[in-house]
Structure 1
Amino acid sequence: MRPADALSCAAVDASYGPVQVLYGVNVRVAAGEMVGVCGPNGVGKTTLVRVLAGLQRPGAGGRVLLEGRDITGVPAARRVRLGLSTVVGQQAFGSLTVEENLRMYGYTVSRRDGRLRKAVDGAFAVFPRLYERRDQPASTLSGGERQMLVLAKTLIQRPRVLLIDEFSLGLAPVVVGGLLEMVRRLNRLGTALLVVEQSVNVALSLVDRAYFMEKGTIVAEHTSADLADRPDLVQSLMLGGHA
């Protein structure tokens, strides 16, 4: 019997009012795996992240499972406590300092025995640039630094599954390269990842396997190795030529 996936969803529909966005989406991430969801803007990638994170309920019949447990009706905050965290772009509390942001992210960490302090110090050790800016408001950070800040929260929360939505958007390639190495480090620590990316090059440089979306459905699934020498196939998948 195959062990339960770290995260999966089955037959997920989703709508905004009368407009349906997702149609019967099935995705799975095995324990310790890095999986990508790729496709151009407007195909439903972010809506899928919202459903998985608990920010939006799927239609009737859709299910979301975390390590085999049905969490379809579990609120987003509770999902964090169960081991599922989400990184969306460069979102941070702009009026709070870097250190205050990290302490806010540590709401799931026990305050006993100085555990939160140790967790924050551990994040600073990994991101020394954030330590240098620990007393600055997050709104004053560069885009790359804000992305470091939202990745640093995962070092504090230590999720078993991490959702990342468009974390390379608007960042210089050299900054993205450093952030990708941090994501790989999280994976080596045991975190399974689902990475939603418009940049297929970024996604395939990171993940083991990728799903491709078109018009709210999954139209293809390939390993990164399969696509390494198939730029023609990658292009067709990203441009809607999956058939």
Structure 2
Amino acid sequence: MSVLEVTGLCGGYGAIQVLFGVDLAVAAGETVALCGPNGVGKSTLVRMVAGLSRPSAGRVALRGEDITAVPGPRRVRLGLSTVIGQQAFGTLSVRDNLRMHAYPNGRDDEPREAAVDGALAVFPRLAARAEQPASTLSGGERQMLVLAKTLIQRPAALVIDEFSLGLAPVVVGGLLELVRRLGAVGVATLLIEQSVNVAMSVADRLLFMEHGTIIATHTPAELRDSPDLARRLVLGGHAA
């Protein structure tokens, strides 16, 4: 059974429809990348999966449970975490930012601090800056902080919206290694990514989106064997 499943998802903003029957599924331990040029509906899909926008039709399910009408905060408690941008409380320290996201693990100090220490152990660079204000972090470090906060939530499914955007390749490489490690412990990951090269380096499958729907599904091996197909898909022109 898929951990995260989207079926027939439609919707948009007011009278403007953006998604037209999107179907996708991510199994436990699988990383699926959703690719496509700007304006095809990727971010709208993320918002609907996260519970930030309501679809006009279709279904979002987590571990077989219909969560289409479940508010975003409750989706986190059910096991769905979403990484969008590099949001953090700039005046709080790195450690206090992590503590803020550890409350679902209980309000007792011991389990909360254990969760924070566990997240910092994954990111030595953050551990070295644990007492610094989050506003002093570099772009790569802020992205690490966002992922560390997600680790504390212990998700069954993780949605990451273009975390490689604007980051140095060496930083991206480290973040992708974390995604691989999450997959190894069973987390289902949906990665929204414009860079097909980045997606191919970590995903088990790549989905390509155009005009608000999924137009193609390929494995990294298939795309490496057919560079021309990959190029057309990236540019938004699907070939049969």
Q: Same fold (TM over 0.5)?
A: yes
Matched, 1:108 2:104: yes
Partner of 1:228, secondary structure, is: helix
CA contact (8 A) 2:29 2:182 kept: no
Note the 1:109-188 alignment, pairs <5 A. Answer: 109-112=105-108, 114-188=110-184
Q: Name the amino acid aligned to 1:125.
A: A
Deviates more, 1:224-233 or 1:190-199: 224-233
Matched residues in 2 for 1:41 and 1:113: separation? 44
Which residue is equivalent to 2:85?
89
Matched, 1:215 2:194: no
In structure 2, list runs of 5 or more residues that go unmatched.
none
Deviates more, 1:47-56 or 1:113-122: 113-122
Which residue is equivalent to 1:26?
23
**CA apart distance, 1:206:** 0.6
CA contact (8 A) 1:89 1:169 kept: no
Q: Name the amino acid aligned to 1:213.
A: M
Which residue is equivalent to 1:17?
14
In structure 1, list runs of 5 or more residues that go unmatched.
none
Decide whether aligned partners of structure 1 residues 113 and 100 sit closer, same or farther in structure 2, where only a CA change above 3 A counts.
closer
Q: Name the amino acid aligned to 1:147.
A: Q
> How much is the aligned-residue C-alpha RMSD, in angstroms?
1.1
Matched residues in 2 for 1:93 and 1:222: separation? 39
Matched residues in 2 for 1:227 and 1:161: separation? 26
Matched residues in 2 for 1:184 and 1:19: separation? 37
Runs of 4+ residues over 3 Å off in structure 1: none
What TM-score does the superposition give when structure 2 sets the normalisation length?
Answer: 0.96
Q: Name the amino acid aligned to 2:71.
A: P
**CA apart distance, 1:217:** 1.1
Alignment coverage as a number of residue pairs: 239
CA contact (8 A) 1:127 1:148 kept: yes
Identity of aligned residues (%): 67
What TM-score does the superposition give when structure 1 sets the normalisation length?
Answer: 0.95
